[in-house]
């Protein structure tokens, strides 16, 4: 069984959903960031950057234990191991999936993370930073709104690991924006479809209590 050290935030939810959709059994332990549990020697042995989630698969490739950190790496590993169609066998589609997965983990995650820091954690609000990061977060939603206006899922006609990675951004991070999905009808249609999936519901519920 995969051992997962996670957080009940968008980054953790991305991995929970990928594991659930892949059909892989896992045991999740929630890390309390406010208590510095991500800075203990034990956790730093899993991820020296001190970021959750992190995982250990005692039955990794070739039957050897495998430790992984970084949300994208864990979700992609789960999708490959589960072999439930979350990653395409077509090399061109697979490359496109990796591009969009990487974009969600970098180009999309950064403005949302900074928007959270600027609005929730900064000791003194900086109007310029708040506006800049909020605008960046909305621009990233604009990209997916345009894409989903033309197709059912982010990477075409099939649900994939990319949808697993995007859903918590929309469900959790984007809720901090005024109006949430007002003005994003295609994203709303996609969100409603993904939210009905039992594996997604289980993934979102992991660590929430």
CATH code of the domain covering residue 23: 3.40.30.10
* pLDDT beyond 70 at 209: no
Query: What domain range includes position 38?
Result: 2-85+201-205
For residues 78 and 107, membership in a common domain is answered with no
Residues 6+ away with beta carbon under 8 Å from 170: 141, 181, 187, 190, 191
Cα 73 to chain centroid distance, Å, stands at: 11
pLDDT of residue 161: 98
List, in sequence order, every residue forming a beta bridge with 156; answer none if it has no partner: 153
Q: How many domains does the chain have?
A: 2
Q: Please give the structure tokens belonging to residue 74.
A: 């864990």
Indicate the average pLDDT of the chain. 93
Residues 6+ away with beta carbon under 8 Å from 22: 78, 79, 81, 82, 83, 84, 86
For residues 126 and 75, membership in a common domain is answered with no
For residues 20 and 39, membership in a common domain is answered with yes
DSSP state of 206: T
For residues 106 and 181, membership in a common domain is answered with yes
For residues 192 and 103, membership in a common domain is answered with yes
- Pairing of the two strands 26-30 and 66-69: unpaired
Q: Please give the structure tokens belonging to residue 93.
A: 């589609």
Segment 129-154 shows an average pLDDT of 93
Q: Classify residue 87 as left (phi > 0), alpha (psi -120 to 50) or beta.
A: beta
For residues 7 and 100, membership in a common domain is answered with no
For residues 153 and 171, membership in a common domain is answered with yes
For residues 131 and 67, membership in a common domain is answered with no
CB 182 within 8 A of CB 176: no
pLDDT of residue 129: 85
pTM, 2 dp:
0.93
For residues 111 and 23, membership in a common domain is answered with no
CATH code of the domain covering residue 137: 1.20.1050.10
For residues 43 and 108, membership in a common domain is answered with no
23-46 pLDDT, tens digit per residue, is 999 999 999 888 888 989 999 999
For residues 29 and 100, membership in a common domain is answered with no
DSSP state of 207: T
């Amino acid at each position: 069984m995969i051992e997962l050290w996670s957080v009940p935030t968008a980054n953790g939810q991305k991995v929970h959903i990928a594991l659930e959709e892949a059909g892989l059994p896992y045991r999740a332990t929630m890390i309390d960031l406010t208590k510095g549990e991500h800075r203990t020697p034990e956790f730093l042995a899993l991820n020296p950057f001190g970021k959750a989630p992190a995982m250990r698969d005692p039955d990794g490739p070739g039957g050897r234990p495998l430790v992984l950190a970084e949300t994208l790496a864990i979700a992609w590993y789960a999708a490959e191991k589960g072999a439930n169609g979350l990653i395409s066998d077509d090399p061109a589609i697979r490359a496109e999936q990796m591009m969009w997965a990487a974009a969600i983990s970098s180009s999309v995650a950064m403005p949302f993370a900074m928007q959270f820091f600027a609005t929730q954690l900064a000791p003194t609000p900086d109007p310029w930073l708040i506006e800049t990061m909020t605008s960046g977060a909305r621009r990233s939603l604009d990209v997916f709104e345009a894409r989903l206006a033309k197709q059912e899922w982010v990477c075409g006609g099939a649900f994939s690991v990319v949808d697993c990675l995007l859903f918590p951004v929309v469900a959790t991070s984007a809720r901090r924006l005024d109006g949430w999905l007002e003005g994003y009808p295609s994203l709303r249609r996609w969100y409603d479809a993904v939210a009905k999936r039992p594996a997604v519901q289980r993934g979102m519920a992991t660590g929430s209590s």
